[in-house]
Each structure stands twice: as C-alpha cells, then as structure tokens.
A and B are shown apart, each in its own frame.
Chain A
Amino acid sequence: MSLMAEMGQKAFDLGVPVSVHMDVTYRCNERCVHCYLDHDDHGEMTTAEIKGVLHQLADAGVFFLTLSGGEPFMRRDFFELVEHACRLQFNVKVKTNGVMIHEAEAQKLRALGIHSVQISVYSHRPEVHDAITKLPHSFERTIRAVGFLRDQGLRVSIANVLMNANLSDHDGTQRLAAEMGVHYTLDPTITPMMDGSTSVLALRIPGEELEEIFRNPALVPNQEEFCAPPKQPTAGDLEGYSCSAGHSFCYISPYGDVFPCVQFPLPSGNLRQQTFRDIWNLSPQLQEVRSIQAKHLTVCSSCSHVGTCSRCPGLAYMEGSMRGPSTADCEKSFYRTGVPTANMLRQGLSKPRTVPLVQIRPLAASA
C-alpha cells in the first residue's frame, strides 16, 4: 500500500473528511447534451461565504480539494478562490472545460500552485465534441487550453464521458491525450438531470458495449486480474464499506448544500445554516451512510461479486435505496467477468436490465 493510500485509509478509519469536491457554480458556457445540472443561478455562495467554508474545511482536516462546476471560470472571483484555497494549503484540483483558459490563465494557475487540472474532452473529432457541448469551436478552444496548461508543467488529464454520440471515439481521444502528453480517463456513467428528467439516460451506451471496453488492453492493462471471475466473498468483504462517500469524502454544491458524494444526491445539511463540522459529525444522513456495511445490503450481501464490485451507493440511492443494488454497477460486474450478479439472478435475467434513476434535488433548489 502506498503512503498516500495508507493515509487515505487512516482518514477513512478515523472519519476525517480528507477529500472534498466543491462545485462553485452550476453556470456553464457549454450546454452538454448529457449534463444533469440546472445552469441557472439560484443563489450561489458569495466569495466571502466560500472563503469561510474553505477555512472550515481546512480546520476539519480536508487535504484534497476539487473545485469544479458548472464551469468554475464562469465565476469572476474564481482565481481569488483558488488563491485562497492554495494559501490554506489544500491540494487543489480544478475541473473545467478549458474554454476560458488562455496562456495567461494557465500561467496564473501554475503560479498559484494548484496540483492538477481535469478537462472534459468528448472526442478527437471537433464536430463530435462540439455537437455534445453545443458550443461551436469548443473543441479547438479546449484543446488549446490543454496545451497551455501542459506547457506550464501542470498535471493535466482529459476526462472522456462515454455516451452513444461518441461511442466509437474513445480510442481516438485516448490517442490525442497521448500525443499531447496528458493523462486520459474514461467514464461511461450518465446520471439523470436535477429536475428529475431522465431523458439524458437515453444517451447511455448499451451495456453490451462495456464488455468491449473492459476487454480493450489500451483501456484496461491488467485484463487477467480485472476480468477474473469473483472469488468467494470472505467475512472481511461483508464487513467492508462501498466507498469513501460520507466516510472521508463529501460534496458541496454552489448553494452550500452538503452531500455524501457528487454522485450521491442525499441532502445532508446546508453550510448557510450549520457549520461544516456540525454537518460532518452530526448529520443523520451521513451517519446512516457510514453505518452501511456490505452485510447490510439487501441484495448485494448475497452476491458473489460483493468483494470486488464497484457498487456505487449513490447510484443505488438514485435507483431507490442506498442499501439496494446499483444496476449500473451490476452491468459492469457482469460484463467484466461474465458472471451474473445476485440482482440479475433474483430477476431471472441473463443480461442486466437498465433501470430508471431518480436525481434528488438539493435543499436550496427544492425549498
């Protein structure tokens, strides 16, 4: 185990929120076809409020801080917030579409001492990328930003969300990342919109396509281990937890709402009404999330994949119960190994069936 993994485990065991993802705005200059956000401003936290929250996060022990959106550069004070975060000695990662980043912005980010930048790129073909973002010439501007940031010596990664519209482009996008000397990550997860609309789910790639992705050595180098049939679950597996959501990680929205994860829309408190420490320590919702071990899962506790599945409790929650299965992860486990999951078996399915997910609205938006 690496030193960083050791510290991550220590934070998990002690219940220290070592990592936080904060969206500073939901506004965006792109209108991506798969985006789940409501881009209107319903009362974002002010500069002073966010700075105050950053102080609270530092006091609570947060080390890894991801600043994202929406498009975070839509905030005129974004550099001021990044500077404040760096002065508070967070390890800062910025997620952006890069459209507003030119050489001067890249230099400034470098000078402030951020750790890394993740940029969304949907294809190596400009027409495919621009059709997804609905912003003409966005590919050109985004790729130029990748170059500016890389030239500053910043750690840059291209994040490629995979959907029907760009299904055949991941090889080309990965090659583009390699040619530019930056990292590449692929994510096939599409979630429902915040207004409850599930129309974007039609953009999801068919489950069968996952098999091809998992068998692609360029994407999954350790094929044999990754695609091996699951081993008999151990007692330790059943004592385990799904992930760090609510244990050592949480998500904060532009309105100050706190959630266990960016993909776990369970409102757990609001920073305009309570301190971060109170929410983290006392929120009944976070306490419930923390209480759930694999042995408590209604279906997954009897599944052969329980020890190796990437089960996301947030997706399970959106599917109806945080203790239930996440069918999207059942799909991954099945297409990764060829072994049916308990969720499939109980329904008599030979292939996983996609189910609708419900995106719960945050506190401020539903008030």
Chain B
Amino acid sequence: MSETYIARSPAIAARLLAGEMMVMNSADSTFFTLNEVATAIWQAADGSTPLDEIVREQVCGQFNVSLQQAQADAEQFVAELSTHGILLVSDHPLASEALL
C-alpha cells in the first residue's frame, strides 16, 4: 500500500490563535479554524513526512486517542481540506512552500 504525503498549500493564510489554527484560502475566502489535533497534523504537513507517521508521532504521541481512530479522523480531515485546496495530497513526497 502506498504512503500518503500532505503539504500546506502555498496560496493560503494561516496563523495560530490561542491553540486554534486559523486558515483562509485566498482564492475563495473560505475560512476554517482547526482544533488542536487538526493543528498538529497541519503543522506537520511538510510534504515529506508520510501521513501515517504524522498520525503516530503527532496525534497518538500527544493526544489520548487510539491509532485506528486517529487514522480515520486524519483521513477525513485531510480529505476535507484538500477539497478546498488548503492541503495538497500525493502518493509521493511534495515540496512544502510554507515557512512556518
């Protein structure tokens, strides 16, 4: 089974406000806030770390959640943000434009 890689889209604005990540897509002004778990995935979305590893290290390692549940939640989150062009998803490593 191939790996999934995720990277933050360069055409978005994002900032952490009191533990919640604010994200806005410049193209359509879609505005999201991400909870702590989603923020952890977002911050780890460097295009080179496989999603499985992000879930294991950043989600299960920091939050009290089973691997199976975390994996399912992460896949749903990634699918939703990729539909809005906020996360880029690929089966091979991606270059992430984000600096932060």
Q: B17 near A63 (CB under 8 angstroms)?
A: yes
B10's partner among A10, A113, A115 (CB-CB below 8 A) is: A113
Q: B14 near A89 (CB under 8 angstroms)?
A: yes
Q: A90 near B13 (CB under 8 angstroms)?
A: yes
Per the bound structure, the CA–CA distance linking A4 and B32 in Å amounts to 8
Q: How many residues of A contact B (CB 8 A)?
A: 24
Chain B, Cβ-Cβ closest to A65: B13
Per the bound structure, the CA–CA distance linking A87 and B97 in Å amounts to 7
Give chain B residues whose Cβ lies under 8 Å from the Cβ of A11.
Answer: 17
- 1/0 contact string of B61-100 vs chain A (CB within 8 Å): 0000000000000000000000000000000000001111
Chain B, Cβ-Cβ closest to A90: B13
Number of A-B contacts (CB under 8 A): 62
Give chain A residues whose Cβ lies under 8 Å from the Cβ of B12.
Answer: 89, 113
A63's partner among B18, B22, B32 (CB-CB below 8 A) is: B22
Q: Is B15 an interface residue (CB 8 A)?
A: yes
Chain A, Cβ-Cβ closest to B98: A89
A88's partner among B24, B29, B33, B99 (CB-CB below 8 A) is: B99
Give chain B residues whose Cβ lies under 8 Å from the Cβ of A337.
Answer: none
Q: Is B27 an interface residue (CB 8 A)?
A: yes
- 1/0 contact string of A109-151 vs chain B (CB within 8 Å): 0000111000000000000000000000000000000000000
- 1/0 contact string of B18-35 vs chain A (CB within 8 Å): 101010101101011100
Q: B99 near A113 (CB under 8 angstroms)?
A: no
Q: B26 near A113 (CB under 8 angstroms)?
A: yes
Give chain A residues whose Cβ lies under 8 Å from the Cβ of B22.
Answer: 7, 63
Chain B, Cβ-Cβ closest to A62: B15
Give chain A residues whose Cβ lies under 8 Å from the Cβ of B97.
Answer: 87
Give chain A residues whose Cβ lies under 8 Å from the Cβ of B100.
Answer: 58, 88-89
Per the bound structure, the CA–CA distance linking A58 and B17 in Å amounts to 11
Q: Is A92 an interface residue (CB 8 A)?
A: yes
Q: Is A81 an interface residue (CB 8 A)?
A: no
Give chain B residues whose Cβ lies under 8 Å from the Cβ of A4.
Answer: 31
Contact of A114 with B17 at beta-carbon distance under 8 Å, contacts A3-B33, A4-B31, A88-B100 already known: no
Per the bound structure, the CA–CA distance linking A10 and B18 in Å amounts to 9
B1-54 interface with A by 8 A CB criterion: 10-18, 20, 22, 24, 26-27, 29, 31-33
Q: Is A155 an interface residue (CB 8 A)?
A: yes
Interface residues of A (CB under 8 A from B): 3-4, 7, 10-11, 14, 16, 18, 58, 61-63, 86-92, 113-115, 153, 155
Chosen A-B contacts, 7 in total, with CB atoms closer than 8 Å, are: A7-B20, A10-B18, A16-B18, A61-B16, A62-B15, A63-B24, A153-B27
Interface residues of B (CB under 8 A from A): 10-18, 20, 22, 24, 26-27, 29, 31-33, 97-100
